[in-house]
Every structure is written in C-alpha cells, then in structure tokens.
Copies of this chain bind each other. A is one copy, B any other.
Amino acid sequence: MSAEPSPRRSDATRAAILDAARRRFAADGFRRATIRSIAADAGIDPSMVMRYYGSKDGLFAAAVDVALDLPDLGEADPATVGELLTRQFLVLWEQPPTDEILLTLLRSAVADDAVVEKIREVFAGQVTPAVLRFGAPADAPRRAGLVVAQLFGLALTRYVLRLPPVVALTPAEIVKEIAPTIQRYLTSAG
C-alpha cells in the first residue's frame, strides 16, 4: 500500500507515540488520555505528537486505524458457527494488537459520537453481511443485533467493568455457556 519506500529517521519515534497512545487510550479512554501523558510514556515532547499526527483526533484515528476485518464465516459449518464466532471473538479481545484497539473503541464509544458511528459502520458493513446466510436475509439485521448484544455484553462485563465472576470464566467455559446462545440467535426465525 505504501508507495514511499523512504524510511525516515523519525519512524521509531512515530511508532513509540502510536504504541503509547494505544495503551493510554485503552487504559483511560479518549478524554482522560492526554497528549502530555502519551508523550511522557513515549519519552518525547508533546509537541512531537502534534507534528507527526496533526492533532489529538488525528492521533486517535491513527491508533484505531487497523484492519478490523472480522473472520470470514462464509465457509463455516452452519451447525457450529456459533462456537466458531465465540472463539474468534475471544481471540480478538485477548490478543495483541486488536485487544487494546477494541478496548479503546468500546471505552471511547460512550463518550464520543464519532466512535459510536464507527461501530455502527462496522456493524452494518461487516457483522450483518456475515450473518446474512444463516437465515432469512430480511431478518439478518435483527439476528446480527442479538448476536452483538450478547457478545458486547460479554466484552463490557469482562474487559471494561471486570466483574470478578465474568473475569474468572475460562475461554472454554465461555464457549460452553455463550456459544449456544449465539448459535440460537444466528439461526432463529423472526
């Protein structure tokens, strides 16, 4: 994608800023994560953040701009797609680099309408189409909504609120309990 093969001398600084920004945004959310704290974590001056990313909004966009492509469910076995989806959801939320990015998006969503809009776009553009073929097409948005409600609730209670019993669940337990629910929502009739 990059048509410019010129490695700048400041690439290390750029990367350090982006790395610190992802951590701070994930830990504190958009508003509490200050440019000064991010710069301090990266070990550079706050003005460098402005020079390389233009503004705090630009930095946030860069920190969140990754290919959040959901797994392709196109060839999945309709009988076990609920389990597959649950497992891959856990992987996304518990492995770098998507774990911090997803946490950032969810934490920032409640305070920033722009982030809410981004989540709606991912929902309409990726989730609903992926659900399309497991039931009546006209019913896909409703089924996708139910699936997302269950999975986002898991993410909210496990990774944001950190309710102890939900944190204590092992991935295997989560799959055992929640995958059947996802399976039912995915294939339920209207």
Central interface residue in A120, A152, A154, A178, by most chain B CB within 10 Å: A152
Binds B, one of A52-60, A90-98, A143-151: A143-151
Of residues 140 to 170 in A, which have CB atoms within 8 Å of B's CB atoms? 141-142, 144-146, 148-154, 156-158, 160-166, 168-169
A188 at the interface (CB under 8 A from B): yes
Question: How many residues belonging to A are interface residues under a CB distance threshold of 8 Å?
Answer: 45
A1 at the interface (CB under 8 A from B): no
A181 at the interface (CB under 8 A from B): yes
Contact (Cβ within 8 A) A106 B111: no
Contact (Cβ within 8 A) A177 B188: yes
**Interface 1/0 per residue, A75-114 and B, CB below 8 Å:** 0000000000000000000000000000000110111000
Q: In the complex, what residues of B have CB within 8 A of residue A134's CB?
A: none
A181 to B154, CA, bound (A): 14
Q: Given A31-B31, A31-B111, A142 and B165 touching (CB < 8 A)?
A: yes
Q: Given A110-B106, A111-B32, A145 and B123 touching (CB < 8 A)?
A: no
Contact (Cβ within 8 A) A160 B110: yes
Q: In the complex, what residues of B have CB within 8 A of residue A184's CB?
A: 181
Contact (Cβ within 8 A) A156 B163: no
**Interface 1/0 per residue, A111-144 and B, CB below 8 Å:** 1000010011001000010000000000001101
- Identify the closest chain B residue to A103 (Cβ): B110
A153 to B152, CA, bound (A): 5
Our pick among B106, B107, B116, B151 for the contact of A162 (Cβ within 8 Å) is B116
